[in-house]
């Protein structure tokens, strides 16, 4: 089986296929942006996008996402390191404190904005509800998503 991760196609061995997606990403590809916070699907620090939809990678085996396209936080900025406007908005809005929830938060927000480029604050709350943040009270995360929305609208 194959998997596309951040635009690169990967061949999956039988052993890899049995792994949790989070472990495959962190251990085999050294993509450590996705974090392990609970392993029961409650915190969202392990969130990645599978075909543009947020998935808690602690809950999925690699073989459950066969042939899909995966986006991790490492794949969001441009090749030359220029930040994606959503990442920049997270910085500008002060949405980053300890940063442990940040990769997951950015990715769920990215998925939201891809499908709904003009969300209300209530819609943003609903979209990030599955991701915990202990530092920010979510207020500035929601600000950041709002700030970045105009960019998606333009596309």
Partner 1 sequence: MPDVKEKGWRNDAYAKVTGKAKYSDDLKFVNMLHAVPVYSDYVHAKLVQVHTAEAEASPGVVKVLTSRDVPGSNHFGQIIRDFRIFADDKIRYHGDVVAMVVAETRAQALQAAARVRIEAEPLPALLDAEEALRPDAILVHENHGSNIINTHHVRRGDIEKGFAVSELILERVYETQFIEHAYMEPEVSVCLPRPDGVMEVRGSMQHPFSTRRFVATCLGVPLAAVEVVGMPLGGGFGGKDDTAAIVCARTALAARLLNRPVKMAYSREWSIRESYKRHPYRVYYKMGLTRTGEIRAVQCKIIADGGAYCSVTPWVTWRSTVQCCGPYAVEHVHCDTWGVYTNNVVTGAMRGFGSPQMNFVIESIIEEAAAELGLPAIELRRRNMVRQGSVTITGQKLDNHTVSMEQVLDTVFQEIGYEKKLGCCSHGQGDGEELYGIGLAMSYRGVSLGAEGVDFCAAIINVQADGSVILDVGVHENGQGSETAMSLILAQELGIDLDVIHYKRSSTSTIPDSGTTVASRGTIMGGGAVALAARELKLKIAKLFAAELDCAPEEVRFVANQLIGKDEKKSLPFAEAIRRMFQMQQFPYALGVYRAPQVTWDEEIGQGNAYFTWVYGCQAVELTVNKTTGKVKLLNAVACHDVGKAINNTMLVGQFFGGMAMGTGYALHEDLNVVDGKISHGNLNRYHLPRALDLPEMKAVVVENYDAVSPTGAKSIGEPTNEIMAPAIANAIFHATGVRHYKLPIKITAQDSTKGGR
Residues of the shown chain interacting with partner 1 in the complex, contacts defined by CB under 8 A = 26, 30-43, 45, 72-74, 76-77, 81, 83, 87-88, 90-103, 106, 121, 124-126, 128-142
Residue 21 interacting with ligand FES (CB under 6 A): no
Residue 67 interacting with ligand FES (CB under 6 A): no
Q: Three-state SS string across 110-137, please?
A: HHHHHHCCCCCHHHHHHHHCCCCCCCCC
142's contact among partner 1, ligand FES, none, with CB below 5 to 8 A by partner kind, is: partner 1
Two structure tokens written together for 68: 């899909």
For ligand FES, the binding residues in 101-130 under the rule CB under 6 A are: 101-102
Min dist. Cβ of residue 29 to partner 1 (A): 12
Residue 4 class from Cβ within 10 Å (0-12 exposed, 13-18 middle, 19+ buried)?
middle
Stretch near ligand FES under the rule CB under 6 A, chosen from 6-14, 79-87, 95-103, 143-151? 95-103
54's contact among partner 1, ligand FES, none, with CB below 5 to 8 A by partner kind, is: none
- Please give the distance of CA 134 from its chain centroid, rounded to a whole number: 17
The three-state secondary structure class of 10 is strand
- CA neighbours within 13 Å on the CB side: how many for 74? 15
Interface positions with ligand FES (CB under 6 A): 36-39, 41-46, 56, 58, 97-102, 133-136
């Amino acid at each position: 089986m194959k998997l596309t991760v951040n635009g690169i196609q990967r061949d999956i061995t039988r052993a890899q296929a049995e792994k949790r997606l989070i472990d495959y990403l962190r251990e085999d590809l050294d993509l450590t942006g996705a974090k392990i916070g609970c392993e029961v699907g409650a915190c969202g620090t392990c969130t990645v996008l599978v075909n543009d939809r947020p998935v808690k990678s602690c809950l999925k085996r690699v073989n459950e996402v066969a042939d899909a396209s995966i986006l991790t936080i490492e794949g969001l900025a441009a090749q030359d390191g220029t930040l994606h406007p959503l990442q920049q908005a997270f910085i500008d809005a002060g949405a980053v404190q300890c940063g442990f929830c940040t990769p997951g938060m950015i990715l769920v927000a990215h998925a939201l904005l891809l499908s709904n480029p003009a969300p209300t604050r209530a819609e943003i709350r609903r979209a990030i509800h599955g991701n915990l943040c202990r530092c920010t009270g979510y207020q500035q995360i929601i600000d950041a998503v709002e700030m970045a929305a105009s960019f998606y609208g333009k596309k």
